[in-house]
Structure 1
């Protein structure tokens, strides 16, 4: 019984890390498809500057409203969150 408890606690401890990694992986694919052409491979090469550390709210607003010359994109909230996770990973590297 104690082995089962230890296993469950161990699995729970690493579940968010795995989810964040999966989310950033999806975000990388979505970024390459929708964002890379204008914002560059590291999200630092655009006229608006470094977008790597933007909040979920800021990314959501930009994707849905398309500020300036940026087009809008029909992405789900989950897809926008994945792009934001990827941008956060880029800003740390």
Structure 2
């Protein structure tokens, strides 16, 4: 998967995580469902140790009330392609 596709998907996944703010009460239920999916998606998008750590962070961020606003997927993309500048990211 190329870096532009990962960025677009990451923004979409971050937006899905924020949807719980639009449905008061029902949002917490959606977080219970989205948290493990979010963690799994992160490990599929970013391989290796960094992907596993980011997957755990994504899971915790979605599972904890009030942290949904953090754009975990976008931060991981920024880390991978701007900060780390890995020539062959997974």
The TM-score range, normalised by the shorter chain, is 0.3 to 0.5
Q: Whose helix proportion is higher, 1 or 2?
A: 2
TM-score scaled to structure 1, two decimals? 0.35
TM-score scaled to structure 2, two decimals? 0.36
Rg (Cα) greater in structure: 1
